[in-house]
Amino acid sequence: MEGNEQKKVVIELQNVKRNFIVGDEVVHALRGVSFKIHEGEFVTIMGTSGSGKSTLLNQLGCLDTPTSGEYILDGVHVRTMKRRERAVLRNRKIGFVFQNYNLLPKTTAVENVELPLMYNSSVSAKERKERAVKALEMVGLGNRLYHKSNQMSGGQMQRVAIARALVNDPAVLLADEATGNLDTRTSFEILVLFQQLHAMGRTIIFVTHNPEIAQYSSRNITLRDGLIREDTLNSNILSAAEALAQLPLPQDD
C-alpha cells in the first residue's frame, strides 16, 4: 500500500486459490487473493460467513496450504513446505490470539505464556520464565503472574493469550475475533492494547466480522465470495482509549 514502500514485506499472497472437494462438487473458497502486508501495519480482514475469511485465516496461519498461488511469510515460501516444517515456522513467526483464549486450565499465567517457548530447545527454563514475565508485564498483568485461568476475568485471560502470542517475538500477531467473547468495555480495553502494540511497531492482522473494529486499524481488507472486494487505508484511525474513556463506568452490584 501507498506509504509503505520502504518497509519490509512480512506477508505476501500471490493469486492464492483454495479449493475443497465436497461430494461431487468443487468449492472455490479462495478465488485468487493477492496482497502484501508490510511491517508495522495493523490490518483488519473482514467478511461475512462464506466470504472465505476463515480459509484465508488458515492460510495466513500456516494451518493449510493453497491449491495454487504463493504465500510468502517473512521471506519464506510456505506452499511447498512439509507439515512439520510449517509447524516450526508457525511457532516462530506467528503469534495467535483466539476468540476463546485457548489457555490451559488450572495453569498459571506464566506457565501458559511459556508454552510456545517449550518447543525451542535453545531457550533455557530461566530465560523462558523471564520472557513470559516480561510479556505479561507488557500487557498489564505483572500482578497476575501466578493466577490460574479460573481466577481471571475474560479480559485478563485474553491479555494472557496476547502475552503468549508475543513471547516468541513473532513477525505477525494474528488475532481471530479476539474481542468476540468480551463485553463492550473489555473489548475496548483489548483494542487499546492492540493499538499500543501497533504503536510499538508490531504487525497485526485482526480477522473479524465486526465492521466497527476496522475504525481502529490502519488498513481494512474486505472479502466476499473468495475475492478481495475492498482494500483501503484508514485515513482517520479512531483512538480506542478515547472511546473507552467515553463509556459509562461499570456499576457495582
In whole numbers, what is the pLDDT of the chain averaged over residues? 94
Alpha-helix runs per DSSP H in the chain: 53-60, 83-93, 109-114, 125-138, 154-166, 184-199, 240-246
**Rounded CA separation 143/223 (Å):** 40
Return d(Cα 62, Cα 118) in angstroms, integer.
19
Query: What number is the average pLDDT over the span 22-26?
Result: 94
Q: What is the number of other CB atoms lying within 10 angstroms of the CB of residue 39? A: 16
- Looking at residue 119, its pLDDT comes to 81
Predicted pLDDT of residue 23: 93
Which tens digits make up the pLDDT trace of 110-158? 999 999 999 888 999 999 999 999 999 999 999 999 999 999 999 999 9
Residue 49, pLDDT score: 86
pLDDT digits (tens, 9 = 90+) for 79-110: 999 999 999 999 999 999 998 999 998 899 99
Average the pLDDT over 39-48 and give the result. 96
User: pLDDT at position 120, please?
Assistant: 83
Residue 221, Cβ density class (10 Å: 0-12 exposed, 13-18 middle, ≥19 buried): buried
Task: Write out pLDDT tens, residues 241-252.
Answer: 999 999 988 765
Share of the chain above pLDDT 70, in %: 97
| pLDDT band of 1, cuts 50, 70, 90 | low
pLDDT of residue 104: 93
Per-residue pLDDT band for 5 (boundaries 50, 70, 90) equals low
187-203: string of b/e by CB count within 10 Å (b at 16+)? bbbbbbbbbebbeeebb
pLDDT of residue 250: 75
pLDDT digits (tens, 9 = 90+) for 155-168: 999 999 999 999 99
Domains of the chain as residue ranges with CATH: 40-69+83-243 (3.40.50.300)
